[in-house]
Amino acid sequence: MYTVKIAKECGCVKKSGMPVTQTFDSKDKALMEANEMADEMNDTFCKKHNFSVVENGNEMLIQVGMN
């Protein structure tokens, strides 16, 4: 199993209703979902943070950084 996880919930994440953790059967699906989520977050959230994906074993972490 592969997990997509948002490392830190900022206010925009909480308001969006996005799932904080999801599991997938394949690494490709998990990585694709993580990248799509990070892209959507970077495009639609308030721009105070930027979001990037980092692989950590079977976990795809969406990290939050300051803009």
Q: How far is CA 14 from CA 10, 27, 60, 66, in A?
A: 7, 26, 19, 17
What does the pLDDT read at residue 67? 81
Q: What is the pTM of this model?
A: 0.91
Confidence of residue 43 (pLDDT cuts 50, 70, 90): very high
Residue ranges of E strands in 1-67: 2-6, 21-24, 49-56, 59-66
Residue 8 burial (CB count, 10 A): 13
Check if the beta carbon of residue 17 is closer than 8 Å to that of residue 37.
Answer: no
Average pLDDT, the chain: 95
What does the pLDDT read at residue 66? 85
Confidence of residue 23 (pLDDT cuts 50, 70, 90): very high
Query: Alpha-carbon distance 25 to 5, whole Å?
Result: 15
